Amino acid sequence: MKFFYTGVWLRRLRGALLILVFISVFLYIFSLNFRTPNKMDVLQRSVTETVSPPIRLFGRLFSALEQFFKDYIWLKNLRGENESLKSEIAELQNKVTSYQEAYVENQRLRRLLDFKTSSMAETIPARVIVHDLTGWFQTLMVDKGFQDGTAPDMPVVNDEGVIGRVLDVSDRYSRVLLITDQGSAVDAIDQRNRVRGILCGKDANGCLLKYIRGNLDIKEGDLVISSGKDGIYPKGLRLGVVLAVYKDPVDLFQKIDVKPMVRLSALEEVLIIKRGGAGLGVEEETRPAAAQPRAEPATKAVDKAVAKPPAQTTSKAKPQLKPQTQTNPKFRSQGQTKQPNRPREKSQTEPQGKAKPKPNVDPR
Amino acid sequence: MIASSSLTQGATVGRMIKITLYSFFVLALQAHLIPRLPYQALRVDLLLPLMFAIALEWPPLVGVLWAGFWGFVVDNFSGGFWGLHVGSYMVTVCLVNMASDRFDWCSPAYQMGLVGLCALGQSIALGLFLSFVPMDVPELTSIWIGLGIRTLLSVTIAPFLIYPILNPRNTI
């Protein structure tokens, strides 16, 4: 009888322990929602490191299969011709853009050259392994991690503009939070008139430029760039183009839809900007002027334009230098253009036929 | 007797390998196919119906652990709302185990019904999470409509995903 009761008691204890373990595990997983971005813990790292390679392999197989269907079965000649024509159009548009802007470029050449020289930030090229599995969050996984020098909060860009920032790092992989995620916020300015706001993620297709007062001048097609004031993104990186502006007379702020410059759903390679790299961003601004005599005029001019209170100037500020993109020779060979400082909005061709909005750039 | 036992053991191991490979295949599909879909409403959770099949194939504890593992994998690769998939997969396995005596799970109607219920719960949780960010009524409405369509799609595809594991011919 005693043994019987002991057995029942042990069984109940085992059940209770099991429930306790499950609850603990679930609480641990749920607590991950509230942690600050950091290096992934052991469990996350082991899952990421183990599952990523097969997923990557499957992705390659999938891409190869897709490519095969596209190239050899489905309209082989037409597709090739279309691609060549598109690239030709892009090239011509690029030329036209460069001629139109020659005058402006000429005026700003010296400052631009200084800035370009100083903006050679160290970058880490990375390949996208997988986008968010569910499709409801705006994250992706790249194949560079702690071992390669990445750390949380490093900006992630490509030749078109800003993609996001590193959220967590594993040994060989990192999770990137895209600028379109609702949890993302970037300190941004309108390139045309230096109006400052916060670019927040909205959904997979766009962002919102928030906290722009209703009386400030924002137009459709304005180019939105990073201000460099948030301590994460360097100054002057292209974020997006104003798609629509909604002004409500009752509301203090206007609602501004921004389309990201980068086609985030089709990313394959990215650049992770190492923090503390020379040139771009806050680091450069805080560096003593004596340490960078060549860059002094440029930074002074930019600081003059941006040092005013957020979003308080409408159109009098000097135009900023053109948005900068990283120039990593290794990465450029994989498809980057050789003119990193030239706006490419007109030359970008959408594979699915969607034309990107053309940014307004103040020609002064 | 020994030969019969080893045969059964071999069959069990074979089935475990098959389920593992199939789970991974579905995960790979989820990773490379679903995010490419143009509309959020189409982005269904392919692993949720799979958990239904897992619950019927494996003992409860193993099923729950398996569900927790794959839930964690999906949570890890999505990086947002930790616990959503762990919770929903484990709840699915528990629900199937609790109701396994009362329903004929080989019927696609029951399969679709329970997967639909779990997908609805998952969608509601996801919708509430997404609603934490202040947004306009039209945006919020579109999110909830998208989640509704997602639930319906999950219901529709459930038998197709469950079939490779719960094929009656295999189980006989």
Q: What is the DSSP string of A304-364?
A: HHHSSSTT--SS-SPPPPPPP----HHHHTTT--S-TTS--TTT---TTSPPPPPPB----
**pLDDT higher at A8 or A93:** A93
Longest dimension (CA), chain A: 99
Backbone φ, ψ for residue A225 (5° rounding): -125, 165
Domain-located, residue A52: no
Q: Which residue in chain B has the smallest CA separation from A170?
A: B76
Quick check: A272 contacting B, CB < 8 Å?
A: no
H/E/C letters for each residue in A221-252? CEEEEECCCCCCCCCCCEEEEEEEEECCCCCC
- Tell if the CB–CB gap between A204 and B139 is shorter than 8 Å: no
Q: Is the pLDDT of residue A11 over 90?
A: no
Q: How far apart are CA A322 and CA A112, in angstroms?
A: 8
Q: What is the DSSP string of A72-122?
A: IIS-HHHHHHHHHHHHHHHHHHHHHHHHHTHHHHHHHHHHHHHHHHHT---
pTM of the model: 0.64
Predicted pLDDT at A292: 36
Q: Is the pLDDT of residue A131 over 60?
A: yes
Q: How far apart are CA B161 and CA B163, in angstroms?
A: 6
Mean pLDDT of A294-313: 36
Predicted pLDDT at A106: 63
- Tell if the CB–CB gap between B28 and A58 is shorter than 8 Å: yes
Q: How confident is the model at residue A340 (pLDDT cuts 50, 70, 90)?
A: very low
**ipTM score:** 0.72
Predicted pLDDT at A8: 73
Domain-located, residue A193: yes
Q: Which of B35, B87, B133 sits opposite A135 (nearest CB)?
A: B35
Residue from B77, B97, B135 to probe the interface with A (highest A Cβ count within 10 Å): B77
Predicted pLDDT at A155: 92
A229 Cβ neighbours under 8 A, 6+ residues apart: A187, A196, A235, A282, A306
Q: How far apart are CA A318 and CA A92, in angstroms?
A: 30
Count residue pairs from A and B with Cβ separation < 8 A.
Answer: 110
What is the span of the domain harbouring residue A266?
A: 108-338
- Tell if the CB–CB gap between B35 and A137 is shorter than 8 Å: no
Q: Which residue in chain A has the smallest CA separation from B31?
A: A133
Domain-located, residue A120: yes
Domain-located, residue A248: yes
Q: Is the pLDDT of residue A236 over 70?
A: yes
**pLDDT higher at A202 or A8:** A202
Degrees to nearest 5, angle at CA B160 with B157 and B161? 90
pLDDT in tens, A268-301: 888 888 875 434 443 344 333 333 333 333 333 3
Predicted pLDDT at A134: 80
pLDDT in tens, A90-113: 888 878 777 776 666 665 455 434
The candidate with the shortest Cα–Cα distance to A201, out of A176, A184, A189, A225, is A184
**pLDDT higher at A20 or A318:** A20
The reply to whether CATH 1.10.1760 applies to domain B2-171 is yes
Domain-located, residue A283: yes
Mean pLDDT of A136-142: 88
Q: Is the pLDDT of residue A177 over 90?
A: yes
Query: What residue type is assigned to position A335 of the chain?
Result: G
Q: Which of A54, A139, A168 sits opposite B24 (nearest CB)?
A: A54
How far CA B76 is from CA of A59, A130, B9, B63, B138, in Å, comes to 18, 12, 33, 20, 30
Domain-located, residue A178: yes
A81 Cβ neighbours under 8 A, 6+ residues apart: none
- Tell if the CB–CB gap between B75 and A130 is shorter than 8 Å: no
Q: How confident is the model at residue A343 (pLDDT cuts 50, 70, 90)?
A: very low
Coil, strand or helix at A205: coil
Predicted pLDDT at A287: 37
Domain-located, residue A268: yes
Q: Which of B28, B43, B83 sits opposite A136 (nearest CB)?
A: B43
Q: Which of B34, B76, B83 sits opposite A47 (nearest CB)?
A: B76
Q: How far apart are CA A364 and CA A70, in angstroms?
A: 45
Helices (H), B33-136: 47-57, 60-78, 84-99, 108-131
Chain A stretch 153-212, residues whose beta carbon is closer than 8 A to a beta carbon of chain B: 167-168, 175, 177, 181-183, 202-204
Query: What residue type is assigned to position B57 of the chain?
Result: E
Q: How far apart are CA B31 and CA A184, in angstroms?
A: 22
| Mean of the per-residue pLDDT values of chain A | 72
- In the DSSP assignment, the letter for residue A160 is T
Residue from A65, A67, A136 to probe the interface with B (highest B Cβ count within 10 Å): A136
Give me the CATH number covering residue A201.
Answer: 2.40.10.350
A72-81, A252-261, A317-326, A347-356: which is most confident: A252-261
- Tell if the CB–CB gap between A182 and B28 is shorter than 8 Å: no
Domain-located, residue A149: yes
Own/partner contacts of B65-74, CB < 8 Å, gap of 24 or more, are: B66/B23, B66/B93, B67/B92, B67/B93, B68/A22, B68/A25, B70/B23, B70/B27, B72/A29, B72/A43, B72/A47, B73/A47, B73/A51, B73/B27, B74/A133, B74/A134, B74/B27, B74/B30, B74/B45, B74/B47
- Tell if the CB–CB gap between B68 and A25 is shorter than 8 Å: yes
Q: Is the pLDDT of residue A125 over 50?
A: yes
pLDDT in tens, B74-127: 988 888 788 889 999 999 998 888 887 777 777 788 888 888 999 999 999 989
Backbone φ, ψ for residue A253 (5° rounding): -110, 155
Which residue do the tokens 């002004």 mark?
A247
Q: Please count the structural domains in chain A.
A: 1
Coil, strand or helix at B42: helix
| Mean of the per-residue pLDDT values of chain B | 83
Buried b (16+ CB within 10 A) or exposed e, A313-323: beeebebbbbb
